[in-house]
A and B are shown apart, each in its own frame.
Chain A
Amino acid sequence: MKPPPFTYHSPSSVEETLDVLAETGTDGKVLAGGQSLIPLMNMRLAAPAHLIDINGAGGLDVLRTSDDGVRVGATVRQARVERDAEVFRVQPLLRWATGFVAHPVVRNRGTVVGSLAHADPAGELPAVLALLDGTIEVVSRGARRTVTGRDFFAGPLESSLEPDELAVSAFFPALPDRAGASFAEVARRHGDFAVCGAAGLVELDDDLRVAAARVAYVSVGPNPVVLDLTEACGHRSPGATDWTRAADAARGRLDPGADIHASAEYRRHLAGVLTARVLGEAGARAHGAAASGDGAHSGALR
């Protein structure tokens, strides 16, 4: 179908964008990559009276990497983040997770920040932000705030952004030393939204025993769910850890919903399987990174 009529704005700066957002209020929507918003408009599930296209706003197409982490500007495409070698070195989980977002052609246009702002519980990147305790930088006319992943996701397709606010960037902290990460999901076909997905992070102590193990889940609740499964891992070395105990703990603590794609019971089962899989892989990667004394480069060992 065809999208309904709207008034198009193409501000040439962030300041101008904020002015338009303030004027249009609840009638306005930001247009970033359009890979979620335009399908909704084509299907007439969304009919914003004003579209504010930020692709020409300038200053938002910035991808900055430091040893602390990766800052992704609002118009940086998912494909760019996926391919960037520095991003992969600092936080490899971004490449692994982004590879599950739709298809390569869709990722050429879709943005990382748009994916977060869209707040789809089936989205991979919200789970990554939540797992890593990342933040989103939000501005409106005369104000600026930094929002944590935990506070940003307010429900299915609902972020805590106010109508006059623009998310200007997202920050994904670096992979710590002696740590490993992993992403896995089950979908009907590769590129489809996940029936269930999991992002795992394992950190080791000086004796190379599991010091922290966390998993963020995709498609198991209205928001990304993060579980701390450190206790269930038993503080052993990754090779000696029984990851199925962490999987059992996760199954007990998750409360997935049912929909046409899967029953709650099947989702809980998948969540357990994926928990063991991502923690096992993240643990092995953490061990490889620690053994080579080169935490930040663990991604290269995959």
Chain B
Amino acid sequence: MSEDVYEIRLTVNGVPRSARAPARRLLSDFLRHDLGLTGTHVGCEHGVCGCCTVLLDGAPVRSCLMFAVSARAHEVTTVEGLGGPDGSLGPVQRAFQECHALQCGFCTPGFLVAVTALVRDARAAGRAGPTEEEVLEGISGNLCRCTGYQNIVKAVHRAADLMAEHGAEDGGEP
């Protein structure tokens, strides 16, 4: 079967990007292979591990359970988009580093992206950060074989603190 190839244009980390790929190209593979953004990791390719989590128009989704062609004209944020433009770490990344919330780091991009949305949503609802229960629910779809999760949970709360400090410094929401 000769496959049709699509010109896929979308915005990744605020930058318009495009590449050509067949319809069956998963968004995860498109990001990694066609756009060279290898920060997004791929573990299971059936939605279970959460390594491939990216933000699609702001909402965390599994990039292995979406075709790139379906993401045309949408905005995607990957782990590469979580830091500052100067390469500095973002608040969630800093919290993970401070709390030793990673060991091998394979699962980390997925956690960072999911946690970014989790903390953002709690703060958007006018709260200091997610509750313990919300944290456990929020990271339940991400698997980590190394850390035992305890430091990841701590890092989520720490990220909320850092965002609050950051927000206070800027005199407003980040």
Chain A contact residues, CB within 8 Å of chain B: 1-8, 10, 31, 34-35, 38-39, 41-43, 51, 53, 55, 79, 102-106, 108-109, 189-191
Tell me if A8 and B4 are in contact (CB < 8 A).
yes
Residue in B23, B47, B64 whose CB lies within 8 Å of A8: B23
Tell me the residues in window 135-158 of chain B with beta carbons closer than 8 Å to chain A beta carbons.
137-138, 140-141
Residues of A within 8 A of B60 (CB): 104-105, 108
Tell me if A105 and B26 are in contact (CB < 8 A).
no
Residues of B within 8 A of A103 (CB): 50, 140-141
Residues of B within 8 A of A55 (CB): 70
Residue in B3, B45, B59, B67 whose CB lies within 8 Å of A108: B59
Tell me the residues in window 29-66 of chain B with beta carbons closer than 8 Å to chain A beta carbons.
29, 45-47, 50, 53, 56, 59-62, 64-66
Tell me if A5 and B65 are in contact (CB < 8 A).
no
Query: In the complex, what residue of chain B is closest to A55 when comparing beta carbons?
Result: B70
Indicate if B104 sits at the interface (CB-CB under 8 A). no
Tell me if B141 and A2 are in contact (CB < 8 A).
no
Interface of chain B, helix or strand or loop or mixed?
A: mixed
Binary contact readout B2-41 vs A (1 if CB under 8 angstroms, 0 otherwise): 0110100000000000000011101001000000000000
Residue in B1, B45, B53 whose CB lies within 8 Å of A105: B53
Tell me if B47 and A106 are in contact (CB < 8 A).
yes
Query: In the complex, what residue of chain A is closest to B22 when comparing beta carbons?
Result: A5
B residues contacting the other copy or chain, number (CB 8 A): 30
Asked whether A105 and B4 contact (CB < 8 A) given A2-B24, A8-B67, A55-B70, the answer is no
What distance in Å separates the Cβ of A97 from its nearest Cβ neighbour in chain B? 15
Indicate if B69 sits at the interface (CB-CB under 8 A). yes
Indicate if B114 sits at the interface (CB-CB under 8 A). yes
Residue in A5, A10, A39 whose CB lies within 8 Å of B24: A5
Tell me if B53 and A42 are in contact (CB < 8 A).
no
Query: In the complex, what residue of chain B is closest to A192 when comparing beta carbons?
Result: B48
Tell me if B1 and A5 are in contact (CB < 8 A).
yes
Residues of A within 8 A of B47 (CB): 35, 38-39, 102, 106
Query: In the complex, what residue of chain B is closest to A109 when comparing beta carbons?
Result: B61
What distance in Å separates the Cβ of A291 from its nearest Cβ neighbour in chain B? 28
What distance in Å separates the Cβ of A228 from its nearest Cβ neighbour in chain B? 33
Residues of A within 8 A of B56 (CB): 108-109
What distance in Å separates the Cβ of A49 from its nearest Cβ neighbour in chain B? 9
Q: List 15 A-B contacts (CB under 8 A).
A: A2-B29, A10-B69, A31-B67, A31-B70, A38-B26, A38-B66, A53-B67, A102-B47, A104-B60, A105-B141, A108-B60, A108-B61, A109-B62, A109-B66, A189-B140
Residue in B24, B59, B65, B141 whose CB lies within 8 Å of A6: B24
Q: How far is the CA of A109 from the CA of B53 in the complex (A)?
A: 12
Residues of B within 8 A of A104 (CB): 60, 137-138, 140-141
Query: In the complex, what residue of chain A is closest to B70 when comparing beta carbons?
Result: A53
Query: In the complex, what residue of chain A is closest to B73 when comparing beta carbons?
Result: A56
Q: How far is the CA of A105 from the CA of B118 in the complex (A)?
A: 10
Tell me if B50 and A34 are in contact (CB < 8 A).
no
Q: Please name 9 further chain A to chain B contacts, defined as beta carbons within 8 Å, in addition to the given A35-B62, A35-B65, A51-B23, sorted by A numbering.
A: A3-B24, A6-B23, A34-B67, A39-B46, A42-B45, A42-B46, A42-B64, A53-B67, A109-B66
Tell me if A34 and B66 are in contact (CB < 8 A).
yes
Residues of A within 8 A of B23 (CB): 5-8, 51
Residues of B within 8 A of A42 (CB): 26, 45-46, 64
Residues of B within 8 A of A41 (CB): 24
